[in-house]
Chain A
Amino acid sequence: MNNKKKVLTFLLLLPVFVLALHLSTGTAGTALKHPMEVEAPVMCSQCHTDWRASMDHSAEFGGLRHKFSARQNKQTCGLCHVESFCADCHGVNEGLKPSDKYKDAPERALPHRGDYLNQHKIDGRINPASCMKCHGRQNNERCRVCHK
Chain B
Amino acid sequence: MNSIQSCQQARSGTPMMQIIIGLVLLSFFSIIPGIPGKALAANIAGESRTYMQYRETAAGDKLLPLYEYLDFTVQDLGKESISVHFGGWLGYDLSNNSFGGNADKDRSVQYGYVSYRAKEDNTVVNLGRVMVFEGVASERLDGIYARTDIKGGFGVSVYGGASTILTEPNDNTIYGGRLSHQSAGLYTLGISYLKQERNGSSFREEEGIDLWLQPVNKVAITGSSSYNKKTTGWMEHAYYLMLGPFDKLRFNTEASWINYADYFAGTTTNVFDMTPGGPIDPREKVNILGEEIFYSIDTNWALSVDYKKYGYDIAGNANYYGAKATYVLPKSYNAGLSIHKMDGDTNRLKYDEYRIYASKKIDKIDVTVDFLDVKYKEPINTVTNAYSVTLAAGYELTEKLKLGADLEYSKNPEFDKEVRAFLKINYRFDAELGKRKGV
Contacts and interface: CB of A to CB of B under 8 A. Distances in A.
Interface of A: 1-2, 5-6, 9-10, 12-13, 16-17, 20-21, 23-30, 32, 39-41, 43, 45, 49-51, 53-54, 56, 58-60, 64-65, 67-75, 82-84, 86-87, 90-96, 100-101, 103-107, 113-115, 117-119, 122, 124-129, 131-133, 135-138, 140-141, 143-144, 147-148
Contacts of B217: 49
A115 B61 CA distance: 16
B165 A138 contact: yes
Interface stretch (B19-27, B29-37, B410-418, B431-439): B410-418
A136 B386 CA distance: 27
Given A32-B117, A59-B294, A83-B131, 4 more contacts: A5-B197, A84-B71, A136-B264, A140-B271
B93 to A, nearest CB: 10
B67 A24 contact: no
A110 B318 CA distance: 23
8 contacts: A21-B123, A32-B75, A59-B292, A70-B133, A96-B53, A103-B390, A119-B374, A136-B266
Given A20-B150, A39-B331, A101-B49, A83 B71 contact: yes
A31 B268 CA distance: 39
A73 B292 CA distance: 24
A94 B108 contact: yes
A65 B136 CA distance: 15
B160 A126 contact: no
B340 interface: no
Interface in B229-260: 236, 238, 240, 242, 245, 250, 252, 254, 258, 260
A49 B419 CA distance: 47
Interface string B338-355: 000010100011010000
Given A54-B214, A68-B223, A9 B51 contact: no
A91 B197 CA distance: 22
Interface residues of B, number: 150
B212 A27 contact: no
A95 to B, nearest CB: 5
Nearest to B410: A115
B417 to A, nearest CB: 10
Nearest to A114: B388
B102 to A, nearest CB: 12
A87 B271 contact: no
Contact of A91 (B110, B171, B324, B418): B110
Contacts of A39: 330-331
A147 B271 contact: yes
Contact of A114 (B119, B177, B331, B372): B372
A65 B58 contact: no
Contact of B173 (A5, A28, A90): A5
A92 B148 contact: no
B121 A24 contact: yes
A83 B129 CA distance: 12
B330 A141 contact: no
Contacts of A119: 374, 386, 412
B134 interface: yes
B227 interface: no
A128 B264 contact: yes
A107 B208 CA distance: 32
Q: Determine which residue in B140, B158, B242, B271 has the highest number of CB atoms from chain A within 10 A of its CB, and name it.
A: B271
Given A20-B148, A103-B422, A148-B270, A84 B69 contact: yes
A95 B304 CA distance: 33
Contact of B279 (A10, A53, A91, A125): A125
Contact of A141 (B3, B390, B406): B3
Given A59-B324, A96-B51, A132-B267, A115 B388 contact: yes
Contact of A126 (B91, B131, B214, B318): B318
Given A24-B148, A54-B222, A87-B87, A122 B348 contact: yes
Interface string B292-325: 1010000000001010001000010010100010
Contacts of A49: 217
B82 to A, nearest CB: 13
A89 to B, nearest CB: 11
